[in-house]
Amino acid sequence: MVDVRRTFPSTDMVKVSSGRQVIVFNVCGNEFRLIVAVHFDRQKVFILRLLSHAEYSKENWKAEL
């Protein structure tokens, strides 16, 4: 995660209800949130959600993941 933050400083690691951690990117000038699961060992990124800032703030997505 340190390497990700070095390249993309506005990212956050968030724990969701499943207990897993996802990475949240602020995109389009903080207007949207891109939520991804990164499997560093397999070098794969899975896009889970693309939400507006308002949708993200409701935090309903955490229970779904």
**Tens digit of pLDDT per residue, the chain (65 long)?**
788 889 989 899 999 999 999 999 999 988 999 999 999 999 999 999 999 999 999 999 999 99
Q: How far apart are CA 56 and CA 61, in angstroms?
A: 7
**Please, are residues 14 and 62 in contact by the beta-carbon 8 Å criterion?**
yes
**Please, are residues 34 and 47 in contact by the beta-carbon 8 Å criterion?**
yes
pLDDT of residue 56: 95
pLDDT of residue 1: 77
Nearest to 12 by CA among 3, 4, 24: 24
The number of C-alpha atoms within 13 Å of 19 and in the hemisphere containing its C-beta is 0
pLDDT of residue 3: 85
